[in-house]
């Protein structure tokens, strides 16, 4: 099979549960994805979603270059079963000159080493647990993304406390120092918001602001003042 020589947006190395789900999600979002793994069955399965999927015998630097991993703008190393292989593979990808290298860590110590060699580090299981705990303890917050410092982007389900009011009447900027990014209604995302737009119960609102202010707005939606 001919390896990829085209410029790709994303390269994924390792098709465990995380790598497979990531490759599938990126492909379904219309992104150009290349996948590399040493398991033929896993590569066969991912080819239902990704055109550029290659079986490699070893994950050394020469093999990765032969596969074309250097042609990717971003490479995510999704190897979790062997810390040594994860670190070496990440180092190979960095040495090849890929502009952005993200690597999955399975422990704090693993992550420290990956960070030291120049990778962006992610902790999928830990981050998923934190997000689940946040959703369980903050039922009206559907999703949240932490930015720098104490700033977050959060998606909240609107309740009867705010339904029927216009965006101008809600005045979230003055009351909670929050900016509204978008509204989602019946599966449609609205980003061109106007002051006279009326909010409805069960709309999803995406806001950006300090975490404490988002929490105050959430408490209001749940029945507080």
Domains and CATH numbers, the chain: 8-124 (3.40.50.720), 138-221 (3.30.70.1450)
What residues have CB less than 8 Å from 222, skipping those under 6 apart?
139, 140, 159
Q: Are strands 72-77 and 100-104 parallel, antiparallel or unpaired?
A: parallel
> Considering the entire predicted model, what is its pTM?
0.63
Distance CA 99, CA 11 (A): 12
Q: Give the Cβ contact number of residue 77 at 10 Å.
A: 30
pLDDT tens for the chain, 225 residues long, are: 445 567 889 999 999 988 999 999 899 888 999 999 999 999 999 999 998 999 998 899 999 999 999 999 999 999 977 899 999 999 999 999 999 999 999 889 999 999 999 999 988 877 666 656 665 555 555 566 666 667 888 888 898 999 999 999 999 999 999 999 888 888 888 888 899 999 999 888 888 888 889 889 988 888 755
Paired sense of beta strands 204-210 and 52-55, if any: unpaired
């Amino acid at each position: 099979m001919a390896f990829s020589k085209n410029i790709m947006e994303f390269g994924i190395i390792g098709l465990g549960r995380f790598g497979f789900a990531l490759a599938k999600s990126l492909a379904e979002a219309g992104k150009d994805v290349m996948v590399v793994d040493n398991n033929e069955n896993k590569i066969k399965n991912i080819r239902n979603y990704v055109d550029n999927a290659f079986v490699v015998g070893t994950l050394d630097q020469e093999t990765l270059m032969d596969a074309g991993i250097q042609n990717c703008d971003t490479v995510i190393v999704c190897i979790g079963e062997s810390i040594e292989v994860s670190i070496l593979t990440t180092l190979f990808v960095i040495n090849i000159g890929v502009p952005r290298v993200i690597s999955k860590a399975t422990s704090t110590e693993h992550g420290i080493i990956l960070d030291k060699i120049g990778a962006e580090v992610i902790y999928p299981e830990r981050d998923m647990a934190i997000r689940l705990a946040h959703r369980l303890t903050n039922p009206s917050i559907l999703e949240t993304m932490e930015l720098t410092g104490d700033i977050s982007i959060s998606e909240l389900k609107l309740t009867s406390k705010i339904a029927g009011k216009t965006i101008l009447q809600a005045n979230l900027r003055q009351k909670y120092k929050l900016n509204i990014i978008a509204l989602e209604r019946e599966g449609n995302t609205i980003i061109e918001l106007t002051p006279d737009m009326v909010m409805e119960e069960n709309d999803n609102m995406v806001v950006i602001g300090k975490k404490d202010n988002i929490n105050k707005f959430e408490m209001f939606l749940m029945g507080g003042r």
